[in-house]
Amino acid sequence: MDASLFTSMLFATVVAGTPLIIVALGLLVNEKAGVLNLGAEGMMAMGAVAAFAVTHHSGSPWLGVMAGMAAAMAVSLIFGFLTLTLQANQVAAGLALSIFGVGLSAFIGKPFESIALPAVPPIRIPFIADLPLIGEALYNQQALVYLSWALFWVVVWFLYRSRAGLVLRAVGESPASAHAIGHPVILIRYLAVLFGGAMAGMGGAFLSVFYTPMWVEGMVAGRGWIALALVVFATWRPLRVMIGAYLFGGVMITQLFIQGSGMQLDFPAQFLSSLPYWATIIVLVVISRNVNTIRLNSPMSLGKPYRAEG
């Protein structure tokens, strides 16, 4: 592999992994609070279409990102109301949210299907971007790539270095105990759900405004489900989430490079397109075999409804 090909693949891997990092970190905070939201795919789709529409009409990609976050937060609020206030089953509500978001985004996005946005220029960091091999790949990127790195450190600090993060983790482990010492469990879980929605919306906005600046029905293409799997793959640890996101991004990009290279394959090209999803299934199967790993690392009250008494 020559240097230019390595740089191109590394650049593309970082870009492909960015929406996974953003969404998975939001879901991580969500699940650390004890809430299992399977609606990431629908929230990403709503974020993508809202961001595209606002960017198209306003000309500002950052207004688009904020609109995408707001749209996904609004959808996540419906999930929060159903599961936290009405005590609906979190798995069923999350699946319904995913289907609803994907369908509604397809309907809203119909008028925008033939429109392309102008490409958002990357931000080049002087001097560091001149480093051989990795400089152009890592330091001549879109602003949201850098923001995803900052988000990683903020989430790590919040969960493991702040009192608020300690309270949130306590709510996910034992909501009854957290309530007994005066913490508003339902409010904390609502805030976690809204944060997860905002990050899903940002991930969707990255896809439709920065990654491929156009709206296409189904453009999220299972990334919401992959982000959900990433949290389990990472055993609810932020660093592993980041590493896993880039691994999955690398799988996505590798199959695209192979298909684009013109190599003669002894199997259908569609098999390569399915590689990221095969990787997701295999990882989940391997991790699920070790029940102790799941028990030791997952929040004790994950997916369990809670109603405050007294």
Type of residue numbered 112:
F
Extended beta strands in the chain, E state: 123-124, 140-141
3-state secondary structure of 303: coil
Is residue 150 within 8 Å of 168, Cβ to Cβ? no
Residue 214 phi, psi (nearest 5): -160, 165
pLDDT confidence of residue 309 = 67
User: Tokens standing for 77?
Assistant: 């609020």
Cα separation values, 60 from 118, 168, 210, 216, 222, Å: 10, 35, 12, 20, 27
pLDDT at 166: 96
Provide the percentage of residues in the chain whose pLDDT is more than 70.
93
Q: Which amino acid is located at 62 in the chain?
A: W
Where does the pLDDT of residue 48 fall: very low under 50, low under 70, confident under 90, or very high at 90 and above?
very high
* 214 DSSP 8-state letter: B
What DSSP line would sit under 148-204, residue for residue?
HHHHHHHHHHHHHHSHHHHHHHHHHH-HHHHHHTT--HHHHHHHHHHHHHHHHHHHH
Neighbours of 201 (CB within 10 A): 33
At 54, list the tokens.
């606002």
Q: Are 44 and 97 in contact (CB under 8 A)?
A: no
**For residue 23, what are the CA distances in angstroms to 14, 102, 131, 138, 173?**
15, 16, 30, 20, 22
Q: Provide the mean pLDDT of the chain.
A: 90
pLDDT tens for 65-89 read: 999 999 999 999 999 999 999 999 9
What DSSP designation does 116 have? B
Give the chain's domains with CATH numbers: 3-297 (1.10.3470)
Distance CA 151, CA 159 (A): 12
The pLDDT of residue 282 is above 90: no
pLDDT recorded at residue 270:
66
Quick one: average pLDDT of 94-99?
96
Q: Which of 182, 183, 190 is nearest to 34 (CA)?
A: 190
CB 297 within 8 Å of CB 236: yes
Lowest mean per-residue pLDDT among 2-11, 12-21, 67-76 = 2-11
From the list 185, 266, 190, 196, the residue with the least C-alpha distance to 224 is 196
CA distance 262 to 234: 35
Q: What are the pLDDT digits (tens) for 136-176?
A: 889 999 999 999 999 999 999 999 999 999 999 999 999 99
